[in-house]
Amino acid sequence: MVSLDAFLSPIPAPSPSGIDLRNDVRFHALERLLLPATRAARAQTPDSDPAVDWDEALRQCEDLAAEGRDLRLLVIVVRALAQAEGFRGVASGLTLIARSIEDYWPSLHPELRDRPSPREAAVRRINALFQLENEEDGLLCDLSHMGMFSLRALGRVTGADLAAGGLSRTAFLNEVPTGLGEPEKAALTAQHEARVARVRTACRALAAEDPGRLADLVEGVAAAREALGLLEDRLSAQVAENGTGVGFARLGRFLERIAGTLGQGAPGGAAQPEAGAGGAASDPGLAPSQVANVPGTVGSRQDVERMLDRIIEFYERTEPASPIPLLARRMRRMVPMNFLQLMEEMAPSGLKEVRNLTGAADDKSR
């Protein structure tokens, strides 16, 4: 297995992050190596795993890392580690990126641009990291198609299956494409509910047949979620504006739903372990020991958004007729707002008086 220390050691002068790998022919060859793992390529052979040599991909990543510290390369490292070690590999890879951001931010590639705000300056870096939750050819695509376990009577259970198992009927309908008629919605809902029933049955069967495997999955997902939170914190520390940082909502929601499904399959329907359980990485040198927040506490606006997402999911799953999700969604929209935006949302009739008192300019009059 490749040592992740190779991705964290400084590169000799002139820059601690070495060269930009974007135009390196070896990097282009690495990207071509991963083409069979795209969603479009998988659709051509839906019953078989993509013909990608992930060990070779990771070896090539290590070779390239000797010359450049590049976030685009590190995203590929996370994908390769996920194939080798599952969710624990995801945790190791995400922690690696968080450490790289913390240690090499001024010199990392893609380079910062000369822009008026930290977030605008880092837009290429942010876009590179959003590849983590790309459902077409990123980590989220890989995890969705990855077989997490297989049972003789119930077949292969993928990451997408586990995520669907944590999706209530109401939440599912909220995510179906708009413009569908009632017959189409009814058919899709029936398929979803059959899938949920199969997945939950499979999780209960796994708990009975191989409880160690279920426990490993639960702990691995918890470690991946913790590492994702660490990455969001480290990235937001560099680019946050007005208290709002950068989050990976789709990947976080995917992992959270999987955790919920696995928790229902645990003996007695036990809840998932705390985010710190199992550690964030299989490599002790990459454990996110500097995580400040105690699991379950709220330490940032991103934490608030995650808590509200959980509240919405809970009520949609247990009390579909409750109006609380509607109110919680409104609160979630308000989290990143400043004072005047909040006033406009909550009391638009009084906004003019507030502007007069504070001397704030009216954006609409500009």
Q: SS3 for 270-332, per residue?
A: CCCCCCCCCCCCCCHHHCCCCCCCCCCCCCCHHHHHHHHHHHHHHHHHHCCCCCHHHHHHHHH
Q: 350 in a domain, yes or no?
A: no
Share of the chain above pLDDT 70, in %: 83
pTM above 0.75, yes or no: no
The mean pLDDT value for 106-125 works out to: 94
Q: Which of 20-24, 271-275, 308-312 has the lowest mean pLDDT?
A: 271-275
- Is residue 366 predicted with pLDDT exceeding 60? no
Q: 309 in a domain, yes or no?
A: no
Instruction: Grade residue 271 by pLDDT with cuts at 50, 70 and 90.
Output: very low
User: What is the predicted pLDDT for the residue at 139?
Assistant: 97
Domain residues for the domain of 34 are 4-291
* Cα–Cα distance, 356 to 112 (Å, whole number): 39
Q: Which of 70-84, 122-136, 203-217, 264-278 has the lowest mean pLDDT?
A: 264-278
Q: 319 in a domain, yes or no?
A: no
Mind listing the pLDDT tens digit for each residue in 276-309? 333 344 443 444 443 334 344 566 777 788 788 8
* 319 compared with 206, residue with greater pLDDT: 206
**First CA to last CA distance, the chain:** 59
How would you classify residue 243: left for phi > 0, otherwise alpha for psi between -120 and 50, otherwise beta? left
Q: 335 in a domain, yes or no?
A: no
* CA angle 267–271–274, rounded 5-degree value: 125
Angstrom distances, CA of residue 341 to CA of 166, 231, 306, 329: 34, 28, 21, 16
Domain count, the chain: 1
User: What is the predicted pLDDT for the residue at 192?
Assistant: 94
